[in-house]
Amino acid sequence: MYTLVRGLLLFFTVVVAVWLIILIANLGGAMDKIIESQIKEQVGLRLMDPYIQQLPEAERRRLYEEQLEILRREYGLDRPFIERAVRYLLNGITLNFGYAEKVSSDTGSRQVRLILLERLPHTLLLWGTAQFLLFFLSVFVALMLSRRYGSMWDRLVVALAPTSAPPAWFYGIILILIFASLLRVLPYGGFVDAPPPPTRLGYVLSVLKHMILPVLSVIVGAIFASIYSWRTFFLIYSSEDYVELARAKGLTGRAIERRYILRPTLPPIVTNFALMLISVWMGGIITETVFAWPGLGRMLYEAIGHNDTPVIVGANAIYGYLLALSVFLLDIVYAALDPRVRVGATGGQRL
Amino acid sequence: MSAIWLRLKELRRYPSAVIGLVVVALLLLMSIYAVVRYPYGKAISLWRAGEVAWLENPRNAAPLWLNWFGADLPPTIVLGSDQARVLENQDLGGGVHRRLLSFSIDYLWRGGFPSEIALFYEASYQRTPPQAVLRWRTPDGREISLGTQTLRESGRYLISGDTTLARRLGGISPQVALFRDPWAKGDQARPLPGRYELLVELYTFDPQATANLKFIAYGRVHGWAGTDHLRRDLTLALLWGAPIAIAFGMTVALTLTFWYLFVSALGAWFGGWVDAVIDRLTELRMILPLLPILIMVGMFWSRSIWIILAVLIVYGLIGGSKSYRAMYLQARASPYIEAARAYGAGNFRIILRYLMPRFLPLSIPAFVQAIPGYVFLEASLAILGLGDPLLPTWGKVIQDAYSRGALYLGYYYWILIPAAMLFITGIGFAFIGFALDRIFNPRLRSL
């Protein structure tokens, strides 16, 4: 019952979020005027054709009105904004994305689903690689450091933690400057060489070469703060009384780590991992722009530039769903991993 | 409050925090200097004026201090009519007057050629505009004719942009051809150091006619931060970046930190539907993607930094903080709250006097650590081309440089200096934040 209510509440939250996005994307309907004037210009250009120009005035007038009407229907301007907003909302919520208004996929399709699907692999490849490396590297190094607490390396990482204040794109620009501009060993950006290498192996290698700098910038931008926070986290747990007891019992360091430190810290690690997976989906709008990486983040930026509401709503609806879903799943995963939460959940609504 | 002050004093024991405090203090001084030296309106008008306000600055010049590291690049040389020597002065009769002026330039820089050379003029006359016959004399005594110019009212003869002249000089840009060492071996052209002379034979055709000349050899270094593609002195942008970044970051971080502290206390204390509403709103904020919203606001509505600031705060005001809520829920059951209730304290008295002060220390590191995030957020928007349309900010300078291919063209200073400012600011606050975290978080103290 609790789970059901929680699920419904989260769903409602997603609906409100998507609705807000629609309102902002359309400026509450003010965008219609801009689109209307763009349509008029478009129709005017179409009627510049010499054949049409020699038609009588009344005929030209009629054609103009006709074309205008067709385009207005295409953009949905024949309906009031509220009605369209409801349609956008319903389509977004039911993940029935329909057609983009202006943006198209590289293959020329106007289907939002195809546009999103086309960009998704690029984003998953880049951000998946970067975040996985970052996550496992920092958890691993953090465990090692927590074992050698107070050593030179440990103090170095603590001192370097503030370097994670600048975001990935910032390090991206610096890395481009060093490796592309000064040393000329890696490309400035993009996904693959132009023209793409003919062989499959050559293609893969070229993509990998283009991935090095973006991946590195994500890792450099976050690694020290990430290691620092995990290390502190492990240290807090390894100073618990039950760990002291285990140590007193004479258990080996590895067994203590596995059974008494990693086990209770698993829920936060899982939470972090799940949130990381979601951030992978959205990628970095700015980092992708800086590296000219053809991913979802950059596509969303382009869609916003064209004010393509279906695409904006589609991308954000998926994002909202994924976030809500993970919040929901985490409640369950927590209960599965942490018996204390399980007892708390069935033990009534005390706190 | 004095307890917090005592704790803050502990910052002295952390070297990194001391560095951070020094950095922040320097930034504050820089901000004050920027605002006093170039008041808001003046800064905007200078930055937006276009080339007119910066005519005597070179384009894309590196910072001056590059020469300290052996670059030996020329600065800009400006010579006005008053600095010219009058070699001959003749009245040719019938109102015609001939003067021979010499502008001499001691060019001693071996690291490069001027970026541009130009002759500005301002003439007043009755019917026939004055004429100027230009000759160039190199240190080794060669003389190169630069042709004749008719000085109509006011204008500029861009010598380095004269393609006819360039063709006559063997297809080499005039600013290189005029200053090069003709006996230099190898492919690379080298400047010949020494005294150059621009000889101007000036003819005026009525007694009242005047002609004012100004010769400019644009350099390759300028000011502390160099110049951009519009000849603007980047020092202005670097100075003004500081107050904007600090004001922006501090305002958002301060407002939202206190809001979360307050609204989470409200929810946790009253419970019931108040808590439910606040908690739902918090989840709503977690789902609303901030950056796309800011991009939409920037693209469709306004790029003004004040509007972006307002949107950020409004966005932050949606709901409270999950972690504060959890802490308040624990604190609600403590005996000291019980005691307060027993003596008859009202709801808001308990929230403001007992609940919030207890967690205020915990929010101080969070506040300081949040500042760099907002500073970089402003820069992020600028990188996407959504920076403030009027004010110069560090992010906007980076974006200008990046979009104009500074990295391809080798204008590294154009990106590196504003990037360094952002980095120093971010790290400065982060240093203080990390140290504060250790001071105010008892669990971290020994770690």
Judged against a pLDDT cut of 80, whether residue A25 lies above it is answered with no
Distance CA B143, CA B156 (A): 23
- Cα–Cα distance measured from residue B304 to residue B310, given in angstroms and rounded to the nearest whole number: 10
Q: Judging by DSSP bridges, how do beta strands B154-158 and B116-124 pair with one another?
A: antiparallel
pLDDT greater at residue B119 or residue A273: B119
The total of structural domains in chain A comes to 2
Q: Which of A6, A341, A351 to mutate to test the interface with B (most CBs of B within 10 A)?
A: A351
- Map residue A166 onto helix, strand or coil: coil
Residues A212 and A309 occupy one common structural domain: yes
Answer whether B107's CB lies under 8 Å from B74's CB: yes
CA-wise closest residue to B228 among B398, B385, B73, B52: B398
Could you tell me if residue A349 is inside a domain? no
Task: Please report residues of A whose CB lies closer than 8 A to that of B292.
Answer: 21, 285, 300, 304, 312, 315-316
Element (H, E) at B149: strand B143-150
Residue A309 falls within a domain, yes or no? yes
Q: CA B429 to CA B242: how far, in whole Å?
A: 13
Closest CA to A169 of A221, A237, A122, A118: A221
Q: Quick check: A192 and A206 in contact, CB under 8 A?
A: yes
Query: Distance between the two ends of chain A, CA-based, in angstroms?
Result: 17
pLDDT at residue B342, rounded to an integer: 87
Residues A63 and A23 in one domain: yes
For residue B122, count CB atoms less than 10 angstroms from its CB and return exposed for 0-12, middle for 13-18, buried for 19 or more: middle
What whole-number distance in Å separates Cα of residue A24 and Cα of residue A297?
A: 18
What CATH number matches the domain at B72-218, 1.10.287, 2.40.30, 2.60.120, 1.20.58? 2.60.120
**Do A64 and A121 fall within a single domain?**
no
Helix B40-48 and helix B234-270: axis angle, to 10°? Answer: 120
ipTM higher than 0.85?
A: no
Q: Which helix (H) or strand (E) holds B67?
A: none
Which amino acid would we find at residue B86?
A: V
d(CA B291, CA A285): 8
Domain CATH number, residue A322: 1.10.3720.10
With a pLDDT cut of 70, the percent of chain A lying above it is 89
Residues in chain B: 447
Q: Say if residue A53 is in the same domain as residue A125.
A: no
Q: Are residues A166 and A258 in the same domain?
A: yes
Q: Which domain holds residue A134?
A: 112-342
Structure tokens at B253: 């971080």
pLDDT in tens, A180-226: 888 888 888 888 888 888 888 888 999 999 999 999 999 998 899 88
CA distance B178 to B180: 6
- Rounded (10°) angle between helices B322-332 and B356-383: 180
In a domain, A99, yes or no: no
Is A7 domain-assigned? yes
Q: Is residue A265 part of a domain?
A: yes
High-pLDDT (> 90) share of chain A, %: 7
A17: nearest CA partner in chain B? B288
pLDDT tens sequence for chain B (447 residues):
577 788 788 888 888 889 999 999 999 999 999 999 999 888 888 888 877 888 889 999 999 898 898 888 999 999 988 888 888 888 888 888 999 999 999 998 888 899 999 999 999 988 889 999 999 999 988 999 998 999 988 888 999 988 889 998 888 889 888 998 888 777 778 899 999 999 999 999 888 888 899 999 999 999 899 999 889 999 999 999 999 999 999 999 999 999 999 999 999 898 889 998 998 898 888 878 888 888 888 877 888 899 999 999 999 999 888 888 888 888 888 888 888 888 888 888 888 888 888 888 888 888 998 999 899 999 998 988 888 888 889 999 999 998 888 888 889 999 999 999 999 999 999 999 888 888 887 666 555
Residue A207, min C-alpha distance to chain B (Å): 21
Distance CA B137, CA A90 (A): 79
**CA B8 to the chain's CA centroid:** 32
Shared domain for A155 and A32, answered yes or no, is no
- Is A191 part of a structural domain of the chain? yes
What is the spatial order of strands in the sheet that B96-107 belongs to?
Answer: B85-93, B96-107, B194-204, B131-137, B143-150
Kindly indicate the confidence band of residue A33, based on its pLDDT and cuts at 50, 70 and 90. Answer: low
Instruction: Considering only CA atoms, give the Rg of chain A.
Output: 27
Among A62, A93, A124, the domain-final residue is A93
A303-345 tens-digit pLDDT: 877 777 778 777 777 777 777 777 777 777 766 766 655 544 4
Query: Could you tell me if A123 and A268 lie in one domain?
Result: yes
Q: Does A178 touch chain B (CB under 8 A)?
A: no
Sign of CA dihedral B297, B299, B301, B306: positive
- For chain B, say whether A161 makes contact (Cβ under 8 Å): yes
A103 in any annotated domain = no
A328 touches chain B (CB under 8 A): no
Q: DSSP of A119-142, one letter per residue?
A: HHHHHHHHHHHHHHHHHHHHHHHH
Q: What is the pLDDT of residue A27?
A: 66
CB A288 within 8 A of CB A295: yes
Chain A contacts in chain B segment 385-404 (CB below 8 A): 398, 402
* Cα(B248)–Cα(B393) distance, integer angstroms: 11
Token pair 């002065």 is found at B89
Tokens of A170: 């910032």
Which of A59, A93, A127 corresponds to the end of one domain? A93
Q: Does B319 touch chain A (CB under 8 A)?
A: no
Contacts of residue A319 in chain B, CB cutoff 8 Å?
287, 289
- The whole-angstrom separation of Cα B409 and Cα A180 is 12
Give the three-state DSSP class for B344: coil
Is residue A145 located within the same domain as residue A251? yes
Give residue limits of the domains in chain B. 2-49+232-444, 72-218
Q: What is the pLDDT of residues A223-249, one digit of tens each?
A: 998 898 888 888 877 777 888 888 888
d(CA B131, CA B149): 6
B292 CB within 8 Å of a chain A CB = yes
A351 CB near a chain B CB, below 8 Å? yes
pLDDT at residue B201 in the model:
92
- CB-side neighbour CA atoms (13 Å) of A349: 4
Q: What is the pLDDT of residue A345?
A: 40
Shared domain check, A148 and A61: no
Confidence band, pLDDT 50/70/90 cuts, at residue A250? confident
Compare all CA atoms of chain B with the CA of A321 and give the residue at the minimum distance. Answer: B287
Per-residue tokens: A226: 């990430």
pLDDT at A30 > cutoff 70: no
The residue in chain B having the minimum alpha-carbon distance to the alpha carbon of residue A149 is: B447
Structure tokens at B159: 């010598």
Nearest to B280 among A9, A174, A312 (CB): A9
pLDDT of residue A347: 37
Q: Is residue A347 part of a domain?
A: no
Check pLDDT > 80 for residue A136: yes
* B2-49+232-444 fold: MetI-like fold (1.10.3720)
Q: In chain A, what residues touch B433 (CB-CB under 8 Å)?
A: 162
Verify whether the Cβ–Cβ distance A170 to B292 is below 8 Å: no
A335 interface with B at CB cutoff 8 Å: no
Cβ neighbors of A349 (< 8 A, separation 6 or more) are none
> Is residue B315 less than 8 Å (CB to CB) from chain A?
no
Same domain, A35 and A167: no
